[in-house]
Amino acid sequence: MKGKFIVLEGPDRCGKSTQAKLLAKFLQEQGKDVLLTREPGGTPTAEEIRSVVLNPDLKVRPMAELLLYEASRAQHTQERILPALEEGKIVICERYTMSTCAYQGYGRGIDLNQIQTLNHIATLGLVPDVTLVFLMSDKYFVERGEYLFSDRLEKEDVSFRQKMRQGYLELLKMTPNAHLINADQSVEEVQAGVQQWLHHHKIF
């Protein structure tokens, strides 16, 4: 593949959208051809699937949820990501296969082997050149929980998010080319760390 595939991961509100935009802007200023995209979504069909899977008024069983995320991924990978990589673009994607392992695997308790099989089918075997995982420290996570996750969320939601965080730590150990980014720092510090790391590892 001629291009590079950079995936940004982490629990909700870890700052990855801001970092993805800043990184895309930085790379474009360097004259790089960049595709900034996200999952679930990234194409009209996949965005429709996104609106179903994230609709709070619908009941979605865990296995159906898993398959919807994978359906979105299959569409997005074939229609948008693979062609962009073939054209030599740097693809920056908010969330990809690791999210499914963290949320549907560690969060919902679906067998990780099943998820990995479906990930492989949906991606046609495509794996990121690098996965940057943005995590807040545990102390910060607990202290700032109310602010970050709003007081509407119930205790179960916080424990789900804590499972998520633990899941990401486990996944970091078992995923090739995955790197932990300390998301406790300021936006500027985090972005500087991201750029340095990518440069050092010859991603751009």
Between 60 and 204, name the residue whose CB sits nearer to ligand TMP: 60
Q: At its nearest, how many Å lie between ligand TMP and the CB of residue 204?
A: 24
Rg of the chain (C-alpha set): 16
CA distance linking residue 185 with residue 191, whole number of Å: 10
How far are the Cα atoms of 81, 119, 120, 175, 182 from residue 75, in angstroms, in the given order? 9, 12, 13, 23, 32
In the bound state, the residue with its beta carbon closest to ligand TMP is 103
CA distance linking residue 63 with residue 151, whole number of Å: 29
What is the contact surface with ligand TMP in residues (CB under 6 A)? 12, 38-40, 54, 69, 95, 99-100, 103-104
Q: At its nearest, how many Å lie between ligand TMP and the CB of residue 125?
A: 17
Torsion angle (degrees, nearest 10) of CA 5, 148, 144, 192? 30
> What letter does residue 89 receive in the DSSP assignment?
P
How far are the Cα atoms of 61, 96, 124, 150, 158 from residue 37, in angstroms, in the given order? 26, 10, 18, 26, 27
Between 69 and 141, name the residue whose CB sits nearer to ligand TMP: 69
Q: How many CA atoms lie within 13 A of 25 on its CB side?
A: 7
Q: At its nearest, how many Å lie between ligand TMP and the CB of residue 97?
A: 7
Between 32 and 108, name the residue whose CB sits nearer to ligand TMP: 108
Please state whether 177 falls in left (phi above 0), alpha (psi between -120 and 50) or beta.
left
Q: At its nearest, how many Å lie between ligand TMP and the CB of residue 192?
A: 23
Between 113 and 200, name the residue whose CB sits nearer to ligand TMP: 113
Between 30 and 51, name the residue whose CB sits nearer to ligand TMP: 51
Q: At its nearest, how many Å lie between ligand TMP and the CB of residue 30?
A: 26
